[in-house]
Amino acid sequence: MLPEDVIITGSAAGEAFDQLQQSVSSELTLSKDENGKVTYKKVNSGAELSKDAQQLANAIDDGSVINQIHAENSTTTSEGDLMVGEAFMGNEISIEGEHLSTVTTNQEVNPEVFGAVGEGNGSPGADMLHEVTEAYQGGLISQKKNEGSGNANAPGSAYGKAHRRATSQSGRIYERIFDASGNVMQMNTDGSYPAGVSGAEWYVKDRRGNETVVQRLGGN
């Protein structure tokens, strides 16, 4: 028997689970036990799963990659860095195997932000599915190398590849920054903040250009 290896914990685990369920509702019925372990049943046992739903099923079925999804409605990661919805926190080889090692992944998500992102982009749940499958893909990459990975910003992180192999996000998140008087400022050309930034907001845009702000920080 394989263990179920998508585990959602944290104070916002319920919301995270609901969004994950939303993303695959036509194909999979998910359950979460008191330890946060997620299991699934196919809605139509005879039907072939879409690529996206299959990725989630694989993440759950694969006992050699344990995906720890930590859900808090927070704007900082557990390491104190800025977070806008999600953070790839890396993974580690948890059990050294002769042929195949077991990898434990760490992903942090903010369901409150993802709720707004998914609604604004018209694909509720898609971003939560992206995060779970990104953690899993990162685990597979590290398993193949038999070497754990640092977080998204660490040198040689599995993050970039894992992000591209994961299911699609609902859309892009844009950022706008402000000075102390509330005037919009431009980012430095290298993407860093210019001097005098006092606030920021992140938003999504639908096809008609309607904006939904999904996170705000600082005074503006």
Q: Using CB under 5 A, list all residues that contact Zn ion.
A: 134, 163
Q: How far is the CB of 127 from Zn ion (least distance, A)?
A: 9
Q: How far is the CB of 142 from Zn ion (least distance, A)?
A: 16
Cα 186 to Cα 10, 182, 193, 208, distances in angstroms: 36, 13, 8, 24
Which secondary structure element, helix H or strand E, spans residue 53, and what is its range? helix 51-61
Q: How far is the CB of 177 from Zn ion (least distance, A)?
A: 22
Task: Select 136 or 178, whichever has its Cβ closest to Zn ion.
Answer: 136
Q: How far is the CB of 152 from Zn ion (least distance, A)?
A: 8
Residue 50 is classified by DSSP as: P
Task: Select 27 or 134, whichever has its Cβ closest to Zn ion.
Answer: 134
Per the listing, tokens 């990162």 go with 138
Q: How far is the CB of 88 from Zn ion (least distance, A)?
A: 7
Q: Cα angle vertex 154, ends 148, 159, to 5°?
A: 65
Task: Select 32 or 163, whichever has its Cβ closest to Zn ion.
Answer: 163
DSSP secondary structure, 158-215, as one string: SHHHHHHHSPPPSS--EEEEE-TTS-EEPPPTTSPPPTT--EEEEEEE-TT--EEEEE
Task: Select 13 or 126, whichever has its Cβ closest to Zn ion.
Answer: 126
Q: Is 15 exposed, middle or buried (0-12, 13-18, 19+ CB in 10 A)?
A: buried
Q: How far is the CB of 164 from Zn ion (least distance, A)?
A: 8
Per the listing, tokens 């008191």 go with 34
Which secondary structure element, helix H or strand E, spans residue 212, and what is its range? strand 211-218
- Distance between CA 166 and CA 82 in Å, rounded? 22
Task: Select 159 or 203, whichever has its Cβ closest to Zn ion.
Answer: 159
Task: Select 102 or 133, whichever has its Cβ closest to Zn ion.
Answer: 133
